[in-house]
Structure formats: structure tokens, C-alpha cells
Chain A
Amino acid sequence: MGHMSKEQSQLLSKIATGNGHGEDSPYFDGWKAYDENPYHPTNNPHGVIQMGLAENQLTADLVEEWVMSNPEASICTPEGVTDFKAIANFQDYHGLPEFRKGVAKFMAKCRGNRVKFEAERIVMSGGATGAHEVTTFCLADPGDAFLVPTPYYPGFDRDLRWRTGVQLVPVTCESSNNFKLTKQALEDAYDKARQDNIRVKGLLITNPSNPLGTILDRATLRTIVKFINDKRIHLVCDEIYAATVFSHPGFISIAEILEEETDMECDRDLVHIVYSLSKDMGFPGFRVGIIYSYNDKVVQCARKMSSFGLVSSQTQHLLASMLNDDEFVGRFLAESAKRLGERYRVFTKGLGQVGIKCLPSNAGLFLWMDLRRLLKKATFEAEMELWRVIIHEVKINVSPGASFHCSEPGWFRVCYANMDDEAVKVSLQRIHTFVLKNKDVVVPDKKRCWQDSLRLSLIKNRRFDDIIMSPHSPIPHSPLVNATN
């Protein structure tokens, strides 16, 4: 945003002039490096490969094929134009009935039809970004807080806090138990917030997790449900990666816990799901966000707020058709899981060949890479240094763990579903070359005495609270961006 004059800061609001949008982070270097020198197999084979972008490009061909074979789903084709007027005119914030029905069915299918979703509870929003902000506006007042397990998606800092005035309180998860969320960690975070006079209104979990790529097991989900009921706080479950689960164990949605774990007391008014089609179907451009709440008042309020970010009726119409095509949806979900699983195997194998381990995962569009042994020291500065090397020498844009508020340095998120097989090969080759070249620099596994120095460095390095805000892809070299006429 650049330097703000004193005049400007009085002319505009604090929200506008502050940095709650989160984009002033030094981590933007990775994006800049990519923007200035993007990889292209023939035009720029030595450019930076984008692996910081959690997009799902593996199934675009399936969707494309469907769109071409179903011209009536578009209101612009001769087959579909008779619907043009009605659709172009349709701005009811309840959404097209067929669209809601299709979304409810799709959500159920992603969960193996083990649960059903009511179309009347489906509320639209401007992507999951909009869904999170609306949900926060409905559940919390300025100054209230949400607990969020670390590491977490950097966008939450903006989506939950920026215009709402709500705070985020981290619930620390550690590598010692594979970053699992524990009851102790929840209690500790809650108690600390209370001590600091912060009113906790809810807990936000992302399941499957970004950036970990893991899913929550039944025991943890039960622990969570018990916790929020005991404390009478809300539970917001971001299930945006629900259909990216590609292997065992199977995904368990909070909806299933509500339906099945009937021995547990759970006030449904406290439970809300945020969803989107951006990851599972690979359509971030269509801005389809969904809020699904079990609380009637929240549904009503969120629906009124959805006026600020409705899904284009043109898009609703297209997707209504697509999502109600049961044969296509079944085939799509199966194929998507297969391709993601394959990509995961290729990548983890490739990394394994040079001794790079990843957190074992079975979902998401990325890996949580353990590069601790490549750090000069177990500090976030060293993580930054390594990150700059990866960007400028290895020429891969990956996301450093600190940007996800990870409590331990040395972890990096690397995305693998936003490129073709060739690019995967190239990126693995580059990593191999780098690791082999720097073999002698690898720090051997010392005694884990860095936990103490870690806490110190966390306090020292508050600038690491500025995080990468990179939910958007400028894709400067996309033909869409370059076209002027």
C-alpha cells in the first residue's frame, strides 16, 4: 500500500489505513519473485515455479468436458438462452432453489452420503473468504476472540479480524505429536485468553487442515465438541478441503459427529460449517462460498448479510445443473481423489529420495514439509534465510511455516496440485539438486533443546505476525490478464 500521508490517515478509516489486510508482510517476496520471473516450460524454463498456491488444477478437464457437453447449463448458448432473462434478473438472496439443492447434494456426496444437508440452511457468500467474515460478524462483537489451532491459513487473520474487530487466539499444536489438536492445548489457550480478559466466542477448525493436509479423527472431534459445549462457545468448521481426501483414514465431517455421536450432548446452535467450491472443484474464480449453520438465527442473519456477496446467478445456474448431475459428480469425486493421491505419491517419493520428510497426510492440495534439518539454526530467522534461498536459488515459491503461525521453525507448505506432471518433475529435480549440493550444510539431528530458544525468538520476532496474504493469484501471464482487446 505504500507510505500513507498523515492527511490520508485522517481522511480514511483506521481499517483502510491499517495493515489488517495482512499484505504488508515481508513474505510477499516469494510472490514478487514469481511474478517477476514465472516458470514456463518453453518460454521460461528457469523461472520460479509457483508452489505457494493451493489450487486444484487436476480435474479441470473433467469439468470442461461437462460444460461443453451441457450447453443448456449456460444462459448464453442457443440451448440455454431462453433462461437468460429470468436468471439475469434473479437476485433473491435465498439463491436459486436448484443451486441450493445441488450444493446440499454435493456436500453430502463428499461425505459419502453419510449425512444429509438441508437446502434451506445453505447460505451463499463471496467465496469462503466472505463466508468467514459473515460468520464472524454474526457470532462475535469487536474485541471478542476466536481460538484457532496453529498452524493455520494466513487468510484467517484478514477474514476473521480485519473489518470485524475480532481477535484470534492461537491454540498451539506441535510436531512432537504430529500437530494433533489436544484437549490440553485447547484448555491452555482458553485459560490464557481469559486471564488476558479476552472474551472467547468460538473455536475455528479447518478440517481437512490447511496447511497440514491431515484430517481430524473421531476422538479429536469428540473432544472438540465436548470442549465447545462446556465453554458455551461456537464451533466453526471450515471444511473447504472435504473432497480432497484421497486415502485412508476417511474424512469425518462435524455433521457426522452431530448425527452419530448421540451419546454426546451438543447444542446445535453452536455449530456452523463454512464451505466453498474453490478447492474441491477447482473454481476459485466463480466465488462460491457457503455458510451452513445449525442455528436458525445465524442462518437468517447470514442470509441478510449475504447481500454483500451473493453468487452470480449466471454461476448459480451453471452449477445447479452440474451439481445435480449425479453421474458426473460421482465420477468427478472418484477421479479427483485418484489424481490427488497419485500426485501426493509422486511428490512424497521424490522428496523422500533426498531425505526430505513430510508430515504424513491424506488430504489437501499441499504437503507440510519438514526442512528443519536444513536450517542453520532452529530459529525463525534461519527459516527466513532458507526460504529466501529456496525462492532465489532453487526458484520455487513455497510458504514458510511462520506465515501459518507455526510455533516451530523449519516447516514449509508446498502445493502440488496447481501444475502439470512436467512441472512436478522439474520442481523435484531442482529440489534434488539443491539438497545434494548442500549436503554438508544439513544440520544433523541435535538434542531438541531449541524449544526454549524458540519461545524467545517468537517474542523477539513479532514481525513474523505479519503474514502472507496470498489467497489470490495474479497469474500475470495468464492470457486473460494480458488481453487488452
Chain B
Amino acid sequence: MRLLSRKATCNTHGQDSSYFLGWEEYEKNPYDKVKNPNGIIQMGLAENQLSFDLLESWLAKNPDVSGFKRDGKSIFRELALFQDYHGLPLFKKALVDFMAEIRGNKVTFDPNHMVLTAGATSANETLMFCVAEEGDAFLLPTPYYPGFDRDLKWRTGVEIVPIQCTSSNNFRITESALEQAYQDARKRNLRVKGVLVTNPSNPLGTTLSRNEFDLLVDFIKDKETMHLISDEIYSGTVFSSPSFVSVMEILKEMTPNDAAKIWNRVHVVYSLSKDLGLPGFRVGAIYSENDAVVAAATKMSSFGLVSSQTQYLLAAMLSDNKFTKKYISENQKRLRRRQRMLVTGLQKAGIKCLKSNAGLFCWVDMRHLLCSNTFEAEMELWKKIVYQVGLNISPGSSCHCSEPGWFRVCFANMSQDTLNVAMKRVKNFVTDSTGAECGSSSACFTKSFSNWVFRLSSRDHRAPEER
């Protein structure tokens, strides 16, 4: 009899992917301006480190919160005991208000429809457990966040079927791609339970267009058991037009007849890991108008509640409307500036990025640097970039991109100086390699490619949670 479970011995957790391998290389040789100036610069980590000073200054002005006090009285005991899976009411209220504010107050959220979870990782898995089971599938537009392979599939037994998006139309979702994905799922005998989109998109950094929304709504409208999940974890990172449109806004704008058909099947996932830059605090949320989903998800949240200490701190912080207003706008400003820096820097090296208005990264077009239009060539280029150029960026194949040559490059997790160093290195690399010969990679070594990936992945990684 096998000693461990099937789940324990398979690799559906997805950590053998190249996405996580770059981590290891970075961990072995991390860049430090003074101690290791030739080390690898981490650009594979979608973290927002640009606005910590704003949070720190808020803390300095609010000593009561830090001392577990309210009106001078200690509430430590109550906090330590508080494990109600309905969450701290003050915190949920503050969180829904914050979410509304990010959406320009064009929609409001009811705290009773919100479920708190330990990060968006847990939120996405919990939603899957609630709306799908083994033998079911969710359609996801490619490229998508590699972590979904673990979060949506691993312990739930649910499958992901890709909606292939291509550069020909800037990776927008098309009706034919949606249909094709649906047929692909049917061919595999999978029951399609819905579509999951990340909006703003990781790794594209773009926001869903109204046209894409129309397609999605039309797609699920009359399929009565299909859900639409919108992971809006990057909603606060939209820094330029077009402005962010949440799926909740779309619902609100629909005719009552149309809305009635789908309001019950639309769910939003959120988290404070990106917008506020607090991935360590593990604050995720599921929002749904479907009471049964909320009820089931609430009970499931027992497996990953948010620490009451953290709920309390953030309740106070997010209830400070003056602060949140200032934070949201300043954060967006800084992100815009930083994105500009990356785009311009890459431009100087003759490298284009997909036009983006959100996120903590750019979707970079390096197709012209490939020796051949293959994923092997992409891997070869990636290895060069990690080892020779010293930048950990994420290859498109790890995001299930259908075309080789695209890379996700993060810009918000480092200092300005470091970004400049990175840009210089890219420029030098491109200049040096112009006219250089490519290695023998014309043949399709698909098998040896995947072997290489798995060989590098035999052990437990120091892979932080990432997006």
C-alpha cells in the first residue's frame, strides 16, 4: 500500500516549474548593491514595495493600535480569543469600503457577503471547493499566474483548460478562443464549471475591456451551472487609463433581466498582498452575492482564517479614510512612474512591452531575441538572462503562454537604483549579443526540455508565495 496520498506524491503543486526555479538561482546568488553587485536581480517577484513608508508613517501616528488598545484600554485578551470565522466586523467593513474606494465608489460591497481567507491562495482554492469537483474544469485565459495550477487544481481535483490568447490582438480574449476552450474541455470529458479571469491581468498588466466582459457574460449567461470568478487582486494597481472596471460594476450596469440570470454565479477574489504590499499578513477575501457560496466558504475558511491581530491592525488602518485616499492615489502614482522607467529602459535596448496600465510587472516581448520560434529557444534565452545577465524574470511558458518569447518582468519590488542597474545590464546584453550566433537549438527537444526542468526541481524550494 502506498505510504502517502496521491496528492502528496504527484507534482500538481506545480513547484517544479521554471517559474519557481528562477527563485532558487536568485536565492543562491542574490544581488546586493554593496555586498554582491554582480548577483542576480530579482525581477520575478510581483511584490509592491513602493509604498511602505506611507504605512509606516500611519503606524507612527496611531500608537493605540500598535499597543492592542482601544481608547486606552487593552483589548489583547479579546483579540487573542477571537476566532469567529465571520471575521472581525470592523475589519470586514473597512475592507469592503476600501474595495469600493478602489473602484471609485461606483459599486458598494456588503460585508455579510464577504469571506476572509488566508491570502488569495486560500480564497481561490476555497472557491473551487465550493463550486466545482473532481472531473470539472475551469477555463482560464492564457497567459495566467502559474500559482493557479496549484491553487485551483491540486487538492480539489479540478482541471484548468486554457483559453488561448495570442499577441495578434494583444492577448485579448476572443469569442472563438472561448469556444475552442469549451470544446477542448468537452473533448476531455470535463464538465466546464466556469471561467476564471484575473483582472487586472497577471502577467499582462492590462485591464479587461468591456468587449471582453460582454463575451464572458454572454458565454455564461445561459449556461446555468457556470460561474465567473474575477480575481481582482491587482485592482488597486491600475495607474493609467483605461480605468479599472470591476465585474461588480458590469453586473450593476446590466438590465435587471440579464443581471438576474447571473448575479448568483459571479464571484470576486481579493487580497491586500499587492495593493497594500502586505503578502506576509495573509489577507484574502471572497466576495459573492450567492448566499450558499458565502455560507460554505465561510465554514471552509476555518482551515485558513486571518489572524485576529492582523485583522485588528488593518481594521484601524483601512477605516482611516483620509489615509486610504492618500495611499491609493500615491501608490498608483509611484507605480506609474516605475512602470515608465522599466518600459523606457527596455525601449533603449530595443525591447518592447505590451502596453499596460496596471500590475506590478510588464509583459515583455523578446521574440526577436530568440534563436528560433520555440519554447526551447525561450528556455535558452531565459537561462542566459538569469545566469549571464543576472536577472530573474519569468518565462512566458511558465505562465502557459501559447507563444514563445514573452517574459514577465517585475518593477515594483526593488529600489530605483536597482532597476537602473537592471536596465543597464539588459542594454549591455542586447548590444553584446547583436550579431552573436545562436546555439544549436533548431530541433524540437520537447522531451529533454521538460526533463531539464524536472531535473532542476528535485527538492523543496525556498519559494515564497508569489503572484
Contact = CB atoms under 8 A, between A and B. Distances in A.
Contact of A88 (B75, B77, B278): B278
B256 interface: no
Interface stretch (A106-114, A250-258, A376-384, A474-482): A474-482
B217 to A, nearest CB: 17
Nearest to B53: A85
A165 to B, nearest CB: 9
B415 interface: no
Which of A141, A286, A475 gathers the greatest number of chain B CB atoms within 10 Å?
Answer: A286
B303 A308 contact: yes
Given A81-B60, A129-B302, A138-B5, A13 B67 contact: no
Contact of A283 (B55, B56, B80, B460): B80
A444 interface: no
A313 B225 CA distance: 38
B151 to A, nearest CB: 8
Contacts of A478: 78, 81-82
B279 A64 contact: no
B450 interface: no
B280 A312 contact: yes
Nearest to B466: A91
A137 B292 contact: no
Interface string B219-253: 00000110100000000000000000000000000
Contact of B52 (A15, A63, A84, A300): A84
Q: Size band of the B side of the interface? A: 35 or more
B299 A23 contact: yes
A129 B303 contact: yes
A130 B303 contact: yes
Contacts of A14: 133
B225 A10 contact: yes
A20 to B, nearest CB: 9
Contacts of A89: 47, 49, 277-280
A310 B307 CA distance: 10
Q: Size band of the A side of the interface? A: 35 or more
A270 B118 CA distance: 29
B81 A484 contact: no
B280 A90 contact: yes
Nearest to A136: B5
A151 interface: no
Contacts of B302: 126-127, 129-130, 158, 471-472
B305 A77 contact: no
Given A10-B225, A89-B280, A285-B309, A138 B8 contact: yes
A269 B3 CA distance: 9
A21 interface: yes
Interface stretch (B83-91, B137-145, B421-429): B83-91
B299 A21 contact: yes
B129 interface: yes
Nearest to B299: A21
Nearest to B276: A88
Interface in A434-485: 471-475, 478-485
Given A285-B79, A298-B8, A472 B84 contact: yes
Contacts of B308: 285-287
B67 A313 contact: no
B82 A163 contact: no
A60 B75 CA distance: 11
B133 A13 contact: yes
Contact of A81 (B13, B56, B121): B56
Given A93-B465, A127-B305, A140-B5, A304 B13 contact: yes
Contacts of A159: 303
A15 B296 CA distance: 9
Nearest to B313: A76
Interface stretch (A66-74, A177-185, A217-225, A356-364): A66-74
Contacts of B279: 88-91
A7 interface: yes
A199 interface: yes
A222 B346 CA distance: 66
Contacts of A163: 129, 155, 300, 303
A8 interface: yes
A428 interface: no
Contacts of A270: 3
B464 A286 contact: no
B65 interface: yes
B411 to A, nearest CB: 16
B68 interface: yes
Given A78-B60, A163-B155, A301 B309 contact: no
B77 A481 contact: no
Given A16-B129, A313-B281, A300 B460 contact: yes
Contacts of B290: 11
Contacts of B309: 285-286, 312, 314-315, 318
A481 B130 CA distance: 27
Given A85-B49, A309-B303, A478-B82, A57 B77 contact: yes
A205 interface: no
Contacts of A481: 84, 88-89
B408 to A, nearest CB: 18
Interface string B428-446: 0000000000000000000
Contact of A309 (B59, B65, B304): B304
B282 interface: yes
A55 B125 CA distance: 30
B457 interface: no
B238 to A, nearest CB: 22
B68 to A, nearest CB: 7
Given A311-B307, A484-B89, A92 B462 contact: yes
28 contacts: A1-B295, A4-B292, A11-B265, A55-B81, A60-B77, A74-B66, A81-B66, A85-B56, A91-B119, A91-B465, A130-B304, A141-B6, A141-B7, A158-B299, A163-B129, A199-B1, A232-B1, A287-B305, A287-B307, A295-B4, A297-B8, A307-B122, A314-B309, A314-B313, A472-B85, A480-B89, A480-B312, A483-B89
| A-B residue pairs, 8 tightest by C-beta | A313-B280, A76-B66, A285-B308, A309-B304, A312-B307, A126-B304, A16-B296, A91-B465
Interface of A: 1-2, 4, 7-8, 10-17, 21, 23, 55, 57, 60, 63-64, 67-68, 71, 74, 76-78, 80-81, 84-85, 87-94, 126-127, 129-130, 133, 137-141, 144, 158-159, 162-163, 199, 232, 269-270, 278, 282-287, 295, 297-298, 300-301, 303-305, 307-315, 318, 471-475, 478-485
Given A163-B129, A308-B125, A480-B82, 5 more contacts: A4-B292, A11-B265, A16-B293, A84-B56, A484-B90
